[in-house]
Chain A
């Protein structure tokens, strides 16, 4: 009976073994997976913003979105998945803001150009009609 390792162990020893097993498992479960979906979404949002020339029209926002994404990736390597999730989400929304601002700046500049063209046209017309009796 004594040559068996566990067969004759006391109930207290068994309980400790079970507990430590559970602890190891729960430690594994408490480390969440990397927020892959959010990271992909952030990268995609930055890419969309860059396609719309946001680097030119909303440079600070694009810069911040990139910084946040980099920080999110760093957090992943540091196993800080909660922080990574938030940073990735912040990066995505910042990139979306860059796109929205770019669209607004472009729309405004188109309007300004139209306004300028109209003004020139009206000026020219007035000059023409002024030169004619």
Chain B
């Protein structure tokens, strides 16, 4: 019995041995060695799952990747199987990432297209505005031109009308066209023989002349008095002058500007008929009113 100087009892030794063994076993169970590469796959998956822009996309692919990574993380005595599972896990994570990125790109595309559409719309709006203002300008120009055209047309119409009117009025005056203008011959019926006063009620032709001259204020008038050959030249010139003046004064009284009127006595000159007969002399006693041609066409 003295030989057994061992301080530790035999039972205790057995217990220690059992404890050590159980610790070793527990170490094996609680810290199994993960197949190489599984951690990398897990890291990639964690990156994907923690990306706020990607984690909610491609949920099916992400779930499948999660399962594949878990399978790869399981301890596997067969290195070939372990390698295979890591491979599948790695590719599964890559597929999930690619699908999530694709989905994100498709969403971003909508925004890009909207931005493009908006830009195009802006461009079109701006072009439309520009076109519109050009249109407004063009319309203004057209309106102006149209206005001018209208004025021109009105003037042309007026000119045409006035030409026709003039002709009609001249016709009424029985005026004859000459080089100097239209010549209107007022017969001696205007005057009592030897007198220069206009006869009452003989002014119908003169009133037409007044109307004409009022309508055409740019026409000047030359009034020339003529007599027959009876009597002295001096007397005849004087009489013819007074008769011309009488017509001029009548026209002035009717509102025709005196500056447009000139009156001359021509006496017995320029007879239009033979003074030998009474009929011829009557034709020679006359007042010619020459309406000058328009100075220059009023264009």
Chain B residues whose CB sits within 8 angstroms of the CB of A129 once the complex forms: 126
B95 contacts the other chain (CB 8 A): yes
- B residues contacting A by CB (< 8 A) are 61, 80-81, 84, 87-88, 91-92, 94-95, 98-99, 101-102, 105-106, 108-109, 112-113, 115-116, 119-120, 122-123, 126, 130
Contact check: which of A86, A108, A125, A132 meets B119 at CB < 8 Å? A125
Task: Please indicate the chain A residues that have their CB under 8 angstroms from the CB of B98 in the complex.
Answer: 97, 100-101, 103-104
* A residues less than 8 Å from B109 (CB atoms): 107, 110-111, 114
Residue B123 contacts which of A96, A111, A121 (CB distance < 8 angstroms)? A121
Q: Which residues of A contact B101 (CB under 8 A)?
A: 104, 107-108
Interface size class of A (residues with CB under 8 A): 20 to 34
B84 near A93 (CB under 8 angstroms)?
no
Query: Shortest Cβ distance from B101 into chain A, in angstroms?
Result: 5
Contacts of A132 in B (CB 8 A): 130
**CB <8 Å contact, B102 and A89:** no
**Is the CB–CB distance between A122 and B88 below 8 Å?**
no
A44 vs B91: C-alpha distance in the bound complex, in angstroms? 17
Give Cα distance in the complex from A28 to B105, angstroms. 53
Closest to A125 in B: B123
Give B101's nearest chain A residue, CB to CB.
A104
Q: List chain A positions with a Cβ less than 8 A from chain B.
A: 83, 86, 89-90, 93-94, 96-97, 100-101, 103-104, 107-108, 110-111, 114-115, 117-118, 121-122, 124-125, 128-129, 132
6 further interface pairs, Cβ-Cβ under 8 Å (given A96-B95, A107-B102): A90-B88, A90-B91, A93-B88, A100-B61, A103-B99, A122-B119
Contacts of B105 in A (CB 8 A): 104, 107-108, 110-111
A111 engages B119 (CB within 8 Å): no
Query: Chain B residues with Cβ under 8 A from A128's Cβ?
Result: 123, 126
In the complex, what residues of B have CB within 8 A of residue A96's CB? 91, 95
Most chain A CB within a 10 A radius of its CB, from B81, B84, B92, B122: B84
Pairs A–B under 8 Å by Cβ, sample size 14: A89-B84, A89-B88, A90-B88, A93-B88, A96-B91, A97-B91, A100-B98, A100-B102, A101-B94, A104-B98, A104-B102, A118-B115, A125-B119, A125-B126
